[in-house]
């Protein structure tokens, strides 16, 4: 909606003081956008795609060409600049879309699932670029289903459920809000039933995660003693024992359930 | 002043759309060949076996060529973009809907205008004399604008992302229009009801203008032909953009 694609039913929103409805052209002029479902023109070369978007943003030709050269080199697409996008891999297309979003040197960047479906190397490159852009002063709006990505990249996270913001805060504060989601991860030298562990005093829920078992507790320190007693009584040896803060994924699921 | 700058800037950006369309859609061999072949074969089917002077044939060939070429790709562009998922990228750019469709219309116009040279040159080659080149030039430009605007109206409704469906629908509209437009039979030779029906087609007025400028006479006054073509162009363009504005969200 902020990018002008969907019209709002009600309310107002502005981008750097430009109303998105009344001054849509001016607000969009300041943005760079990578829509999730969008494509570059596959029948144009990477270079011509960049020139097209540069022209649509009114970037003068010389600047357009300089920026396109620089961006294509930074994203490792320079050698393929004259090739039609039709022959590009998904990762290359995504990098090109990011180049297209940056051709106007935007103050605000909207990225919708920028690393979805990409190989690990491309994901890392794009995440590094996002960090660099943010460091150089651009505001980055990132939409993602990848909690770890949000955790690594974002200063503030809004969790949206059924179109409404269920919570908005920094990743650490969001985690602190969910104290009830603290957990202990334990593994034993023998197989232990999850049901038995869930009966240990203080354990609210037990879940098997690989060869370990995760116990959701209110007070980890109090439960640790009980867990050691449990191991002794069953003649088990504890291989590993960690207390864990809730992950963003836990926070997300809790907030979604609550709302 | 700022408003004027804004309009000028948007107008300039519509040429980015023109360049994109030419690169993607119009420079393809099959599009150019098809744009020339359809009117040429329609013309042959009408011409062969009839003893007609070249002066009567060239206006018909020119009318069909301009009509078919200026409307050949325009209807498919937006459904094509919706299907290829490039439309969202375009809409989220700092350009208005008007800029997008002005660009689409201008690219159809350029294609139609360039291809219209072929039948005129062919006519000159076989000895046809053009009595009034100014009217022919002005009429061709105005008619190409009109048909290019018509081409974007053809894709306005329904808001589909299937180019083949739009092309079929537009053929169902375009072919009957050719037959009622006095292309094959001059308007003065049509019966009363035929004259009435032909008056609803913009192609009628262009063919009439072409006859004025090549044969030296037509059915309607030149001023009326030019005015009606200009009016059709404006109505088609404004209506097309208004409908596209309303239906754009449904394409995404």
Tell me the pLDDT tens digit for each residue of A210-239.
889 988 887 888 888 888 899 999 888 999
In a domain, A94, yes or no: yes
Using an 8 Å Cβ cutoff, are A158 and A202 in contact?
Answer: no
**Chain A hits for B12, Cβ within 8 Å:** 58
Residues in Cβ contact with A254 at an 8 Å cutoff, skipping those fewer than 6 apart: A178, A180, A181, A246
Asked whether residue A60 is assigned to any structural domain, the reply reads yes
A259 pLDDT tier (thresholds 50, 70, 90): low
Structure ipTM: 0.88
Q: Are B161 and B82 in contact (CB under 8 A)?
A: yes
Residues A42 and A142 in one domain: yes
Cα dihedral A137, A141, A146, A151, rounded to 10, equals 40
Contact B237, B105 (CB under 8 A): yes
Is A205 a member of any domain? yes
Q: Is residue A146 part of a domain?
A: yes
Give residue B90's domain range: 2-251
pLDDT tens for each residue of B59-90: 888 999 999 999 988 898 999 999 988 998 89
**Torsion angle in degrees (nearest 10) through CA of B218, B234, B91, A51:** 50
Distance CA A24, CA A43 (A): 29
Q: At B246, which helix (H) or strand (E)?
A: helix B222-251
Write out chain B residues lying below 8 Å of A1, CB-based: none
Residues of chain B with pLDDT under 50: none
- Name the band, by pLDDT with cuts 50, 70 and 90, for residue A180: low
Within 10 A of B126 (CB to CB), how many other CB atoms are there? Answer: 9
Gyration radius (Cα) of chain B, Å: 18
In a domain, A167, yes or no: no
In a domain, A48, yes or no: yes
**Is A77 part of any domain?**
yes
Element (H, E) at A140: strand A139-143
Query: Residue A161: its pLDDT value, please?
Result: 83
Instruction: Tell me what the mean pLDDT of segment A2-8 comes to.
Output: 81
Looking up tokens 């690219």 gives: B107
Q: Are residues A22 and A98 in the same domain?
A: yes
Residues A72 and A21 in one domain: yes
Do A202 and A146 fall within a single domain?
Answer: no
pLDDT for B3 equals 63
Are residues A39 and A71 located together in one domain of the fold? yes
A92-115 tens-digit pLDDT: 999 999 999 999 999 999 999 888
Same domain for A26 and A146?
yes
Report whether pLDDT(A201) > 90: no
A26 and A125 share a domain?
yes
Top-confidence range, A36-45, A187-196, B48-57, B202-211: B202-211
Domain extent, residue A215, equals: 175-246
Per-residue pLDDT at B227: 96
Residue of A26, A37, A58 lying closest to B13 (CB–CB):
A58
Of A28, A31, A39, which has the smallest distance from its Cβ to B84's Cβ? A39
What is the b/e burial string over B42-55, where b = at least 16 CB atoms within 10 angstroms of the residue's CB? bbeebbeeeeeeeb
Cα separation, B215 vs B207, whole angstroms = 11
In this predicted model, which residue has the larger pLDDT, A180 or A58?
A58
- Contact in structure between A156 and A170 (CB atoms under 8 Å): yes
Say if residues B152 and B98 touch (Cβ distance below 8 Å). Answer: no
Tokens of B31: 């599009």
* Cα–Cα dist A38/B249, whole Å: 15
What DSSP letter does each residue of A78-138 carry, written as one string?
GGGTTSBGGG--HHHHHHHHHHHHHTT--SEEEEESTTTT--HHHHHHHHHHHHHHHHTT-
Number of structural domains chain B divides into: 1
Residue A162 lies in a domain: no
Which of B13, B92, B246, B249 to mutate to probe the A interface, most A CBs <10 Å?
B92
- Please tell me whether residues A181 and A141 are part of one structural domain: no
For residues A118 and A24, membership in a common domain is answered with yes
A79 plus A202 within the same structural domain: no
Put simply, whether A61 touches B (Cβ < 8 Å) is no
Domain final residue, candidates A155, A187, A205: A155
> Under DSSP, is residue B219 helix (H, G, I), strand (E, B) or coil?
coil
Instruction: Write the CB contacts of A121 (distance below 8 Å, at least 6 apart in sequence).
Output: A91
- Say which CATH number the domain at A209 has: 3.30.70.980
Question: What is the spatial distance between Cα B74 and Cα B105, in angstroms, rounded to a whole number?
Answer: 7
Query: How many domains does the structure of chain A reveal?
Result: 2
B88 interaction partners in chain A (CB closer than 8 Å): 5, 35, 37-38
Residue B3 CB neighbour total at 10 angstroms: 7
Final residue belonging to a domain, choices A121, A155, A189: A155
Nearest chain A residue to B97 by CA distance is A25
Q: Do A39 and B24 touch (CB under 8 A)?
A: no
Chain A residues within an 8 Å CB radius of B6 = 25
Residues A124 and A199 in one domain: no
Supply B221's token pair: 């006054």
pLDDT value, residue A67: 96
The 8-class DSSP code of residue B243 comes to H
């Amino acid at each position: 909606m902020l990018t002008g694609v969907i019209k709002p039913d009600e309310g107002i929103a502005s981008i750097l003081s430009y109303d998105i409805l009344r001054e849509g052209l001016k607000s969009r002029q300041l943005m760079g956008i990578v829509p999730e479902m969008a494509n570059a023109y596959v029948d144009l070369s990477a270079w011509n795609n960049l020139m097209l978007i540069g022209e649509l943003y009114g970037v003068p030709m010389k600047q357009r060409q300089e920026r396109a050269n620089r961006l294509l080199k930074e994203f490792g697409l320079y050698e393929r600049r004259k090739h039609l996008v039709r022959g590009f891999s998904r990762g290359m297309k995504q990098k090109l879309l990011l180049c297209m979003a940056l051709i106007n040197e935007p103050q605000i960047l909207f990225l919708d699932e920028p690393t979805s479906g990409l190989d690990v190397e491309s994901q890392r490159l794009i995440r590094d670029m996002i960090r660099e852009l943010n460091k150089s002063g651009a505001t980055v709006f990132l939409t993602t289903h990848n909690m770890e990505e949000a955790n690594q990249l974002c200063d503030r996270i809004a969790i949206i459920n059924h179109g409404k913001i269920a919570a908005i805060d920094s990743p650490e504060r969001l985690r602190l809000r969910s104290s009830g989601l603290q957990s202990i991860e334990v593994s034993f030298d023998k197989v232990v039933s999850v049901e038995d562990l869930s009966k240990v005093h203080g354990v609210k829920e037990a879940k098997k995660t690989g060869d370990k078992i995760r116990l959701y507790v209110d007070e980890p320190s109090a439960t640790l003693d009980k867990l050691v007693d449990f191991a002794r009584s069953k003649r088990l040896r504890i291989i590993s024992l960690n207390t864990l803060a809730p992950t963003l994924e836990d926070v997300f699921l809790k907030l979604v359930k609550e709302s | 002043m700022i408003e004027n700058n804004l309009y000028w800037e948007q107008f300039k950006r519509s040429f980015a759309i023109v360049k994109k369309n030419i690169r993607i859609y119009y420079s393809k061999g099959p599009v150019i060949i098809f744009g020339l072949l359809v009117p040429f074969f329609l013309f042959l089917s009408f011409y062969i076996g009839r003893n007609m002077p070249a002066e009567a044939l060239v206006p018909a060939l020119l009318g069909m060529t301009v009509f078919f070429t200026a409307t050949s790709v325009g209807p498919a562009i937006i459904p094509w973009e919706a299907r290829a998922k490039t439309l969202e990228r375009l809409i989220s750019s700092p350009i208005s809907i008007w800029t997008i469709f002005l660009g689409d219309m201008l690219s159809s116009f350029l294609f139609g205008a360039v291809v219209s040279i072929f039948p005129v040159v062919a006519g000159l080659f076989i000895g046809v004399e053009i009595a009034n080149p100014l009217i022919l030039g002005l009429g061709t430009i105005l008619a190409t604008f009109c048909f290019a605007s018509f081409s974007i109206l053809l894709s306005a409704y329904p808001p589909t992302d299937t180019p083949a469906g739009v092309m079929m629908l537009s053929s169902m509209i375009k072919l009957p229009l050719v037959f009622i437009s006095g292309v094959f039979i001059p308007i003065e030779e049509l019966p009363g009801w035929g004259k009435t029906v032909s008056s609803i087609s913009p192609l009628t007025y262009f063919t009439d203008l072409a006859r004025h400028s090549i044969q030296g006479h037509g059915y309607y006054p030149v001023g009326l032909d030019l005015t009606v073509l200009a009016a059709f162009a404006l109505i088609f363009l404004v209506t097309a953009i208004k409908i596209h504005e309303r239906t754009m969200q449904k394409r995404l």
